[in-house]
Structure 1
Amino acid sequence: MARPPRFDTDQFLDAAVRLAAEGGPSAVTMSAVAQAVGAPSGSVYHRFAGRTALLAEVWLRTVERFQAGYLAVLTGEPDAHRAARAASRHVVAWCRENPDEAALLLYGAADFGRADWTKEHAERADSGNRRVFAALGRLAEALGARDEQDRDRVALALVDLPLTVVRRHLRSGTPLPPHAEDLTEQCTAALLT
């Protein structure tokens, strides 16, 4: 009977998230992840074909977790204005609850080696992005968006503005102020009226 593995994939990905949050994508190496978990390097190679696969998985797991919550909020409220305000709040609340993951997402997929990902990794990323953009498009229509300027306003209110509220704090390592969600929701509401 085979012995169960001492270390699981999530332990390695959690360590990679912490390393990326502290030192950026370049800090995520196979040996650094193994050392952070206290595992032999072979354990990391057993789960990931190489650094490119590790970087892809840490990016994808993080963005997919964010997107799942964001999509649930975007599509879970029948009133478009309430959904928009809730979505902008969600960005800030998720970042507050997941500061290391949020710091990782301040980078982009390109910083995590997107150009070298496998076809499967790239398709996972593209599929998630398509779902989010489609949901944002449907919400923009429900909000009465008639042209590109209206759609840009919705993107500003639901994507750019919440990220702006959290970016400074995440980059400096300071906690988000207690009023960050309220401020974000108020600004979103003002942009969409």
Structure 2
Amino acid sequence: MALDAEKIPFGLADVTIGEDTDAIHFDGKEEFQFEGGELTFTPILQDITVADFGESVFDQRVTGYEGSLSLSGAQETLQNLKLAMSYMEEITDATTSEVTGLMDGKIGTSMRSKAQKITIHPRIMGTDTSLDIVVYKMASNGEYTRSYANEQGSIPMQFTMYPRDGLDVSKPGNFFYVGGTDPNAPAA
């Protein structure tokens, strides 16, 4: 197998949050990143033991998945603040319906209902989507901290993964996929 220098992980990724015309693109054109992001997937495993092997783990079974994405926006806008704190609600002008601010959400707000699709595309891959990572539903539920010192600030975003709408626990593909083909896309 020949070495493909384009497949060596390097550099930033374009991160798209949401879909269609409402999507927000951290792509170095529309929105900027303060620093590179980091994605983590962790399987939740249940140990399987059998008496014949004492306390040794004989096998492990997947019982779920956890996933997180950390990202820092370089620009302070209402849009980025809402991304950083998915638990916020918009304040709108009654006459123009323009968003004029944000406020804390009501107690009992579902974070899953605020979640959006996130696509991570390594910039080094150009138009090749074979290594894209798509998470069906993520919402930012981390704490928000803002420094007011004489230094460059950022908008920290900590996203958590939830299962997709229409999930089927008897089948794979309920949280994320890698590549250019959605295994759950409707048949054409």
One fold, TM greater than 0.5? no
**Structure number with higher helix proportion:** 1
Structure in which a larger fraction of residues adopt strand: 2
Structure showing greater relative contact order (alpha-carbon pairs closer than 8 Å, 6 or more residues apart): 1
TM class, shorter-chain normalised?
Answer: under 0.3
- Larger radius of gyration, structure 1 or 2? 2
